[in-house]
Amino acid sequence: MPAKKPATKSLNLAVRRNADRFPEDFMFQLNEEEFKNLRFQIETSSAYGGRRYLPYAFREHGVAMLSSVLRSDRAVQIRILIVRAFVRLRHVLSSNRVLAARIEKLSQTVKDHASLFEMVMQDIKREEAELEHEIYLMKAPRRRKAQIGFVRPGK
């Protein structure tokens, strides 16, 4: 007969019984909005049944602390996989820092170019408006009316 899978209920019970091993920086409980967002992302039903309490989320050290709470063979294998996943995640993050720095530099360059482009466009629009005004004056020059009357000498 295969080994029975530990239920989420058992995990939550074990965590509550050993609450002193899980400070806030090891584990936290999701709020309603986070839980709805999570449920939406993993496309679970919200109709009937399901959870009555908000789920817990474990940080890296909280997952390591679970090893002292859970003792089944399956739990040991899962802990090993989780620790390896965190090690791999840390490796990926450290190797991608250089890439992230380059992306940040490129995005700053793009922002600089966008602001320069905006300034050039404003200059072009201003010059275009001045040119349109000059063309208007050339098409319809103002005609001076002939002055009527005497002209004093010296003026």
Task: Provide the Cα torsion 45, 49, 52, 58; round to 10°.
Answer: -50
Q: Return the residue matching tokens 């709020």.
A: 31
pLDDT tens-digit series, residues 20-69: 888 888 888 888 888 887 776 666 555 555 666 788 888 877 877 777 77
Domain boundaries, the chain: 8-105
The count of other CB atoms within 10 Å of the CB of residue 43 is: 6
pLDDT tens-digit series, residues 86-138: 788 888 877 777 777 888 888 888 888 888 888 989 999 999 999 998 888 77
